[in-house]
Structure formats: C-alpha cells, structure tokens
Amino acid sequence: MIDHGLDLALIGNGRTAALINPCGRIVWWCYPRYDGDPVFSRLLAGNEEKGFTDVVLDDMVDYTSEYLRNTAVVSTILTDSRGARVRITDFAPRFRHYERIFRAPQLFRIIEPIEGLPRITIRVRPTQNYGEPIGRRAASSNHIRYQGTEVVRLTTDAPLSMIERESPFVLNRPLHLVFGPDEPFTGDLQTTTREFCDRTRDYWTGWVRGLTISYDWQDAIIRAGITLKLSTFEETGGIIAAHTTSIPEAPGSGRTWDYRFCWVRDAYFVVKALNRVGATQTMEEFISYTLGIAANRDDPLRPVYSVVPTDSMEERTAQHLAGYRGDGPVRIGNAAAEQVQHDTYGSVILAAMPMFFDHRLPKLGDTSLFRLLESLGNKAAALALQPDAGIWEHRLRKQVHTHSAAVCWAGCHRLAAIATHLGLHDRARYWNGIADPIQKELLERAWNPTRKAFTAAFGSDALDASVLLLPDLGIINVHDERFVSTVGAIERELLREKHVMRYVSADDFGLPMTAFLICRFWLIDTLWALGRREEAHDLFVDVLKHRNRFGLLSEDIDPQQGALWGNFPQTYSMAGLILTGMRLSRSWEDQYWGG
C-alpha cells in the first residue's frame, strides 16, 4: 500500500472521527471518542501492517479520492488494469433525528462496483491498547465482534468468511460495512446505510448553506470550517487541537505530543474563526465547557483539558506503536496540563466576550457571567507579569513571556469594555485602572532597544512570531514604529522560504527545524494591516498550495521540502486560514460592482 504521508481526509460527526488515505484505507480511528484507544492505528504503526481497514483491488492502476462537495463524506474510486472500477464511500453519521443531532460512534462504508467485474479483498485489522492486534473475535451470521479493550462490532452484508480470511472475491453488488458499538443493528442494513449517507450529506450541505463567507477562496474556507466543526466534541463543548497524537513536528526531533485535547488558547482561535463565518453555536458550547471549569474558583486554570475536563491527562508512552513512519515515541496524554501558562485566563475572557455583544445569540451574557469572568480577570492581573511556560510550552524554563502578558492584559481590558456595555461604570474604571499599568510595563520591558524589536520575553534577545498578535489584541497600534521595526526583524530572521518559524533559538529539544503554519497567517494579517496588501495576498495564495489534496493542513511544514509535519488536521492552522482568508477576500459587492 502506498505511503501517502499526511495526504489524509477527515470524516467525523462531533463525537468520533477517522482519517482515510487516498486509496480508501482508514488509518486512524479512536473509539469511542476523539481521545479513545485507536481501533485503527496504522498511522503510527511504523512498518507494521496492523490497525487499519481497506479495500485491495487486484491489479489497481489508478485511484482518486475527494470529499463530496460541502460535506464530510469521502468518495474514493479505485481502477484496475482492465478498466474495472470500485467506489468506496465513507462517512460518520450526523443528522437531525427527533429534534436532536444523531452522532453515534460509528463509521459507515459503502463499497460498490461502478464498471466491470472488479476483484477485491476486504481487510480489517483492528488494534487495542494503543497498537496491540486484537486476536479475540467472534463471527455471527452478519457481524464480527472484535473483543479488545472496547468491543467493536462490524455489521456487514459482505461475505464474512472472505473478510476473516482476507480472501479475494469478485464484487458484483454493493456492500455495506458499519463499525461501531457491540449492539444489534436494527433495520435493513442497505436501506439504513443509504438513508444515513443521504441524511449526513444533507446535514453538511445545510450547515454550509448557513455560513457567511466572502467571495474569494470559498472552497478553502468552507473546508476549513467543516474541519473545525469536526474538531468539536459536542457532548461537552471541548474543542480538540488535532485528531492525532505524536505526528512529529520534524523528523527525528522527539517532538511528539498528544493533541487530542482542548487547549483553551487554541480553542479561542477556533471559536473566533467559526464566529467569523457565522457558526456561533460552537462558541456557545465552548463557553459552557470553559465556564464549567472556571466555576470552581479555587482551582487554577490549566492550559489544556480532556474533552471531559475531569479526566486524567497523565502523559505516558505507547509501547506497541513505533510512531509515524517509525519516528517515536508515541505519547498518550499531555504533561502540558501541569504547566503554568498565564494566557489561559485572558483567552477564556476573549472567547466569552461575544456573548455580551453578538445579538444573534439566543441568550446574551449578563452580570452573573461578568462576575465569573472577573474572577478570571483578577488572576490574569496578578499573573500577567509573572514567569510562565509561554505559548510554545517550554518544558524546562520559565520567563515573563510577551504573549502571555499581552493576553492577560487583553482579558482585563475586555472586562472594562463588558462592564461599560452592562452599565457597570465603576467596574469599567476598575478594570481600566488594572489594565493600563500592565500595558505600560509590557511595552517598556518587552521592547529590546538593541534588537529594535519586541522580543519573546522580558529581557530576552530572542524573536518570537507570537508578538505579531500584539496589534490584534489591541495593546499597540500596528503602525507604531516599534511594531513596524519588529515586523522587519521577524521577516529578516524568522522567514524560511515564505514560511515563518515560531522562533529560531534553541529550546528544550534543540534548534527547531520546521515552520509553524499559523505563524504564516499571523504575518499575512500583519502585512495586510500595514498596507502591504499585494505581499500579503501573494503569501496567502502560496500557503493554500501547501494544503493536502483534501484541503487540510497540519501544524508544521518543512520550509525546504514543503512536507506537512505535526499533528493533523491542526485546528490552529485551519482557523488561521479562515480568519486570514476572510480578511483578505473581496466582498461580494466588490466582485459584482467592480469596487
């Protein structure tokens, strides 16, 4: 089977999700939720042929794979040397049912001949306990039970004996496969599968119809929006950073982390992006998620939580998975949960702010919500100028990071705006009185007169792409000569083949080797705001070329080779695509009337 790297499609439904390569092999599926034990783990199995399901076509000579337009349904066509063709349709069910969203932890697959008499083999090789092949299985008349740490049932009208023995057979009729809980499948399999496929397709096209987007780059923005929606765990409102664990940031780097969790900072960017295209429900669900955490005012906010916030985040290593392309270790859990990252407090306030101002919402923020946010603001104010691990989560050092201080300031500053909006003028004066000294000290101490730039941390000489966010946060005007000088320094020192490094100084794991895709979007936004619009436009058009065939981005990119690295698909990157694309796009009026 061809190694397609991160040329993968994502299917899902708000509870479970899977990654599929262009030949129709499902290489990653965590069950029964995003951070569960992977039933299909081939993505991280190195050279071992385990942890996948696929359809092998005898004498295959060609393949095509794409999303059905404006959906999370994937269609793959395999062609053999005689011209016989097979279509594989993959989806996770999602549709309205009894006034609720049906999103069972299931994967559906339809295999059908569309020309000739193709000869295929259906292979199903599930794993348990992060990479151990499941040996215990039991077949009945129309299903196979795979008895791992979680029992998974395959219900199918395909010949079970041929699946169990991985024997080839001629495909002369459509076949239907459903992977999911160990429960009897009610109803006719073919009818139900077709109905679920149609209703899932209709759900997604309807959801896309409700988006508000600008004229340019519509397909890219729509795909990014669907991907962000697929990264929300709707039972709780948590938004995961990516659907994978331990895809290395760079080959041989040891930078392999589990991203199947909710970073409050990353989720803020996702909420901001989805709000920008009119998908406000994710914000409401995320605010419920974060406020449930923040309601316990005695506990400090952690930077990252499980999609069920009370679940353990303890980090350990998977012993049965060699890693992506054999490059480990494969980590489960994330020790960043124990780090001190002060920007978390400001990020929650920033994410909640539209609740007070966006009149599309059925319930606006009130004084009680403001009081809860004030408790976070008090902590942001106390910690703004204290050392932490920073946005890039340095494990072995703490500094007063410029970005962390700026987001803490932004939280306090927004509380003043919310108080004014609510008519609480005494609280507005209070929060302005808190925010102003933080802003003054930050701008003085983060500025390095020798480097002529705002640097990564107070007293540091190191440049950091995160300072590009300072104007967007509102702490400095984009045309301030100090910020303009900072942009020039970043362009000189952090640009690599049009890509932007987070930083170039050594960290806990040595010198970074790959660029961080979200930083490219931050630079583009900055150039646009500075009036360098042609440069910004060209950089954005170029970054779109680095999406995979399905329109998705990971976290990192090799500046020289252009290969995608890091966990996938990365919500940070997809949110950046939406926010920057919407900013740069022509309006519909400009297009129609030549404005």
pTM for the full predicted model: 0.96
What the block records as the tokens of 559 is 């500046």
DSSP 8-class letter at 51: S
Same domain, residue pair 74 and 167: yes
Q: Are residues 19 and 155 in the same domain?
A: yes
The DSSP secondary-structure symbol of 560 reads T
Helices (H), 422-514: 425-445, 470-473, 481-493
Q: What angle do CA 219, 541, 20 make, to 5 degrees?
A: 50
186 and 231 part of one domain? no
Residue 274 covered by a domain: yes
CB 74 within 8 Å of CB 20: yes
* Rounded Cα–Cα distance for residues 221 and 578 (Å): 5
Tokens (6 digits) for 293? 């955490």
Contacts of 562 (CB under 8 A, 6+ apart): 546
* Residue 215 and residue 190 share a domain: no
Q: Is the dihedral of CA 451, 457, 460, 463 positive or negative?
A: negative
**146 and 109 within one domain:** yes
Asked, for residue 418, whether it belongs to a domain, the answer is: no
Domain end (from 194, 222, 256) = 194
C-alpha count within 13 angstroms, C-beta hemisphere, residue 479: 4
Beta-ladder partners of 316:
332
Q: Judge whether 358 lies within some domain.
A: no
Please tell me the distance from the alpha carbon of residue 421 to that of residue 364, in angstroms, as a whole number.
12
- Mean pLDDT, each 10-residue run in order, the chain (595 residues): 81 98 98 97 97 98 98 98 98 93 97 97 98 93 93 97 97 98 91 98 97 95 98 96 97 95 93 92 90 84 95 96 97 95 96 92 92 96 97 89 98 98 98 98 98 97 97 98 98 96 88 95 98 98 97 96 96 97 89 57
Q: Determine the distance from the C-alpha atom of residue 223 to the mean position of all C-alpha atoms in its chain, rounded to a whole number.
A: 12
Token pair in block for residue 172 = 């002369």
> Which token pair is 56?
């092998």
Task: Give the domain-ending residue among 150, 165, 194.
Answer: 194
Q: Round to whole Å and give the CA distance between 37 and 30.
A: 5
Asked if residue 217 and residue 176 are part of one domain, the reply reads: no
Amino acid sitting at position 27: V
Q: Are 179 and 229 found together in one domain?
A: no
* Domain-located, residue 330: no
The answer to whether residues 58 and 159 belong to one domain is: yes
User: What letter represents residue 552's amino acid?
Assistant: L
Centre a 10 Å sphere on the Cβ of residue 315 and count the other Cβ atoms it contains: 15
Is there a single domain that holds both residue 573 and residue 548?
Answer: yes
Encoded amino acid at 370, one letter: F
Q: In 3D, which of 151, 148, 136, 139 has the Cα closest to residue 183? A: 151
**H/E stretch holding 31:** strand 26-31
Residue type, 65: S
Same domain, 163 and 14: yes
- Per-residue model confidence (pLDDT) at position 162: 96
Q: Does any domain span residue 341?
A: no
| Pairs from 73-77 (Cβ < 8 Å, separation ≥ 24) | 73/11, 73/197, 73/200, 73/201, 73/204, 74/9, 74/11, 74/20, 74/550, 76/20, 76/22, 76/23, 76/24, 77/114
Query: Cβ(79)–Cβ(4) under 8 Å?
Result: no
Tokens of 558: 């090799």
Distance CA 384, CA 578 (A): 29
**Considering the domain boundaries, does residue 464 fall inside one?**
no
Q: Are residues 142 and 241 in the same domain?
A: no
Query: Domain end: 129, 161, 194, which one?
Result: 194
74, 220: one domain: no
For the chain, what is the domain count? 2
480: burial class by Cβ within 10 Å (0-12, 13-18, 19+)?
A: middle
Cα–Cα distance measured from residue 8 to residue 76, given in angstroms and rounded to the nearest whole number: 12
In a domain, 370, yes or no: no
Q: Please state the φ and ψ torsions of residue 490, each to the nearest 5 degrees.
A: -65, -40
Distance set, CA 270 to CA 45, 109, 198, 350 (Å)? 30, 30, 28, 12
State which residues form the domain around 179. Answer: 9-194
Please return the burial class of 48, using the count of CB atoms within 10 Å of its CB with bins 0-12, 13-18 and 19+. middle
The answer to whether residue 317 is domain-embedded is: no
